[in-house]
Structure 1
Amino acid sequence: MIRQSERQPDEAHLRQVLDAGDYYIGILRAGETMRITDLEGNQAADTLFYRADDPAERYSATDTIREQGNIYLGAGSKLMSNRGNAMLEIVADTCGRHDTVGGACASESNTVRYDLARRCMHSCRDSWMLAIAEHEEYGLDKRDITHNINFFMNVPITAEGGLQFADGISAPGKYVELTACMDVIVLMSNCPQLNNPCNGYNPTPVQLTVWAH
Structure 2
Amino acid sequence: MPLMMIEPASSELPPEATLVVEHGSVTAIPVKCGQLMTITDLQGGQPVQLHAYTDASTGEFLSAHHTRVFSNSYRLNQGMRMVTNRRRPLMVLGKDSCGKHDLLMPGSTGTSLVEAGFQDETGSREAFRAAVAAAGLSPVKFPDPINLFLDVEIDTSGTITPRDLSHPAGTSVVCRVVIDCTLFVGACASDLPIAQSRGPVEVKIRNQL
Determine if the TM-score, normalized by the shorter chain, exceeds 0.5: yes
Give secondary structure in 1 for the equivalent of 2:154: coil
In terms of fraction of residues, the more helix-rich structure is 1
In the aligned structure 1, how far is the partner of 2:130 from the partner of 2:54? 20
1:114 maps to which of 106, 109, 116: 116
User: What residue number does 1:43 align with?
Assistant: 46
Give secondary structure in 2 for the equivalent of 1:155: strand
Q: Give the aligned residue type for 1:133.
A: A
> Post-superposition, which runs of at least 4 consecutive aligned residues in structure 1 deviate over 3 A?
118-121, 192-196
Q: Give the aligned residue type for 1:49.
A: A
Give secondary structure in 2 for the equivalent of 1:48: strand
Segment drifting more, 23-32 vs 188-197: 188-197
Shift of 1:120: 7.5
Asked if residue 173 in structure 1 is aligned to residue 151 in structure 2, the reply is: no
1:77 maps to which of 80, 84, 88: 80
User: What residue number does 1:8 align with?
Assistant: none
In the aligned structure 2, how far is the partner of 1:180 from the partner of 1:195? 29
User: What residue number does 2:8 align with?
Assistant: none
Give secondary structure in 2 for the equivalent of 1:156: strand
Give per-residue Cα distances to partners, 1:158-208, cap 9 Å, x unaligned: 3321222220142111101111111011012211348732xx343111110
Shift of 1:4: 9.8
Give secondary structure in 1 for the equivalent of 2:46: coil
- Cα distance change on mapping 1:184 and 1:190 into 2, 3 Å: same
1:160 maps to which of 157, 161, 164: 157
RMSD of aligned C-alpha atoms? 2.3
Give secondary structure in 1 for the equivalent of 2:160: coil
Contact 2:165-2:196 at 8 Å conserved across structures? no
Shift of 1:47: 1.2
* Count of matched residue positions in the alignment of Structure 1 and Structure 2: 197
Q: Give the aligned residue type for 1:126.
A: E
Give secondary structure in 2 for the equivalent of 1:88: strand
Shift of 1:140: 3.1
Shift of 1:135: 2.1
Give TM-score, length-normalised by structure 1. Answer: 0.83
User: What residue number does 2:95 align with?
Assistant: 92
Shift of 1:121: 4.1
User: What residue number does 1:128 align with?
Assistant: 128
Asked if residue 26 in structure 1 is aligned to residue 10 in structure 2, the reply is: no
- Cα distance change on mapping 1:98 and 1:194 into 2, 3 Å: closer
The gaps in structure 1 that reach 5 residues or longer are 6-11
Q: Give the aligned residue type for 2:145.
A: N
Segment drifting more, 83-92 vs 153-162: 153-162
Q: Percent identity over the alignment?
A: 21
Contact 1:4-1:94 at 8 Å conserved across structures? no
Asked if residue 13 in structure 1 is aligned to residue 16 in structure 2, the reply is: yes
In the aligned structure 2, how far is the partner of 1:175 from the partner of 1:120? 27
Contact 1:99-1:154 at 8 Å conserved across structures? yes
Give secondary structure in 1 for the equivalent of 2:151: coil
